[in-house]
Amino acid sequence: MDELKKLMTVEDADGVMLKLCLQVEIYFRNAWHPDTRRALLDVFNEYREYFGADFQWTTNPNTGRWKSLKKTPYPYPDEWLADVPQDEEWEFVFHGGKRKTDASDIDFVALGGGRAKTIEDHPLCERRSLSYLYCHFPIDFFADRDEKLPGVFRRWCGHLNAEQAYAGFGLAMSHGYETRVEPLVYQMGERFPGLNIGSDTAHSRYLVDSIKTPNWLTALCQPYVDQLGGEAALRQLLPDGWVSAYDGGLIVQAGDKPLLGDAEQGLDVAPYRLAAQVLRPIRSTNHGGIAFGRVDGKKVYHTQEYRAWLARFDQESSDE
């Protein structure tokens, strides 16, 4: 575990640029609605129970400027989120990095669109955008806990009536040095197929009627389940124990534990590949690019390159 952490932590004179973590990523609708906001606060406050003492930084909800939580008291979203007008967008960020720009495996980010900007009717309509949250956990956080990540994930997806959601290995990125970090993310993503690589802001626009490729845990709202032939069809196509319900849809768990794989060492992520093959009919094929950094003068994860990443499980591995 320590060797894995060392391999996936990138630090330079400007701080921590990249860090391996367990990541939860949830997309949901109707962030303008009081019930949805209360549900999000329930999720955030549970995360705060885990890591609140480790929070170092937050952002001013009006200006987006960083505020140190160790210098002076600062309002948490419980104190202001309910008062944001329904037609206004909102966002909050809390993380545990030593510097405000540090990548941290204690990090919670949520963004909600206003009523005029987000989906209000059918969950798979082809317009507007999704709201989202993502958060990180240290990779060994659940090792000695009675409740594991799948239980937390299922509860949170139910709270927010998740449209789609993912959990497994991810990369915490620097807050402020994104274009410097994106080439490193690209290199990691090409080497380790089990990593969840993406951009929440891009996904909120491009995934209103389709999903990414699966991670270890993948939540699908009922309309997606219906497109795949229903719960019984999914249970027939996937191994026993892989499919479970949450309040609003189904979760596909690709095996007993999250996997990274390693293209350099020939380590595949066969359970993810099987899940991806079953979920392929609802996977995005028209996603745009997600990054602006460059490798050898060329943009990384531009549109065609990121679409290829989304399709990386379409072919069987050479050693299967």
In this prediction, what percent of the chain has a pLDDT beyond 70?
A: 89
Residue 111 bridge partners (DSSP): 91, 132
Q: Is the pLDDT of residue 50 over 70?
A: yes
What is the model's pTM?
A: 0.92
Contacts of 12 (CB under 8 A, 6+ apart): none
CA dist 135 and 94 (Å) reads 9
**Exposed / middle / buried, residue 103 (Cβ in 10 Å: 0-12, 13-18, 19+):** buried
Look up residue 262 and give its DSSP letter. B
CA distance 250 to 107: 26
* Percentage of the residues of the chain whose pLDDT score is greater than 90: 75
Lowest mean pLDDT among 15-29, 78-92, 126-140, 164-178: 126-140
Tell me whether residue 131 is exposed, middle or buried, using C-beta atoms within 10 angstroms of its C-beta: 0 to 12, 13 to 18, 19 or more. Answer: buried
> Is 267 exposed, middle or buried (CB count within 10 Å of its CB: 0-12, 13-18, 19+)?
middle
What does the mean pLDDT of the chain come to?
A: 90
Q: How confident is the model at residue 42 (pLDDT cuts 50, 70, 90)?
A: very high
Interval 236-248 mean pLDDT:
97
Confidence of residue 71 (pLDDT cuts 50, 70, 90): confident
Select the more confidently predicted residue: 179 or 280: 280
pLDDT at 179: 82
Reading the block at residue 300, the tokens are 């990384």
Mapping DSSP to helix (H, G, I), strand (E, B) and coil, where does residue 74 land? coil
Residue 212: CB atoms within 10 A of its CB come to 23
Q: Which residues contact 159 (CB under 8 A, 6 or more apart)?
A: 39, 40, 42, 43, 247
